[in-house]
Amino acid sequence: MGANFESKYLMNKFFSKKISIISFILIPIIFLWHPNWLGFLGVQPYWPLFWLLPWSMINGSINGLIFGLFLGLILDSLTLDDSLTQIPGLIFCGFLFGRIKLYSDNLVGHFRYGLICSFGSLLCGTLYFLQILLRNFSNSNSLMLMASVKNILAEVFLTGLFAPFICSQLLRMFKFSRRKLQ
């Protein structure tokens, strides 16, 4: 009984300490899972931003930039487009998010996460779209433009919708694990 309790306690301690790493590992899995019932017009929210925002807010711009790069590298390896990359958008977002101060008012903070993540998603989407445009410069037409604008807008909407729930929870957990570590 005692041993069981102790192992449970140790496991809880481990999870609370490593929550940031565990959630980081989960991002590519959710990215691959691509649950349709969470989508809008077949588009998903931009999952990596939900993790990157709280991480960068707590650990600063440089950390955000580095982990933006890491996330970009992992997600690029999961997608098949060799010549297109998500790294610039995520690096930029990581750096920008790191400059944002933690807000004291919780309610405003929750909504602020939505707005920031929407902006980040717009930035990443636009950078990705520009790469597609540059690559298919000769073949590009209005149909491609329309599909891309639809993708960007749906992604911005969904990311902004989910961010207040997910980011605030992750931020709370990251803060908690950090406090325990200190």
Q: Residue 4 or 141: which CB sits closer to another protein? A: 141
Distances (CA, A) of 163 to 1, 16, 49, 182: 41, 21, 8, 27
Least distance CB 167 / another protein (angstroms): 21
Whole-angstrom Cα distance, residue 24 to residue 95?
Answer: 17
Q: Residue 16 or 151: which CB sits closer to another protein? A: 151
Q: Are the C-beta atoms of residues 117 and 53 closer than 8 Å to each other?
A: yes
DSSP class of residue 168 equals H
Least distance CB 105 / another protein (angstroms): 34
Binding site for another protein (CB under 8 A): 32-34, 36, 39, 41-44, 79-82, 84, 125, 128, 132, 135-136, 139, 141, 143-144, 146-148, 150-151, 155
Whole-angstrom Cα distance, residue 69 to residue 88?
Answer: 8
Q: Residue 91 or 171: which CB sits closer to another protein? A: 91
Least distance CB 15 / another protein (angstroms): 26
Residues 6+ apart with CB under 8 A from 86: 48, 71, 72, 75, 76, 79, 124, 128
| 160-162-163 Cα angle (round to 5) | 65
Least distance CB 19 / another protein (angstroms): 25
Least distance CB 85 / another protein (angstroms): 11
Q: Residue 63 or 151: which CB sits closer to another protein? A: 151
Q: Residue 61 or 131: which CB sits closer to another protein? A: 131
The torsion angles phi and psi of 43, rounded to 5 degrees, stand at: -105, 145
Going by C-alpha positions, the residue among 46, 66, 27 that lies closest to residue 114 is 46
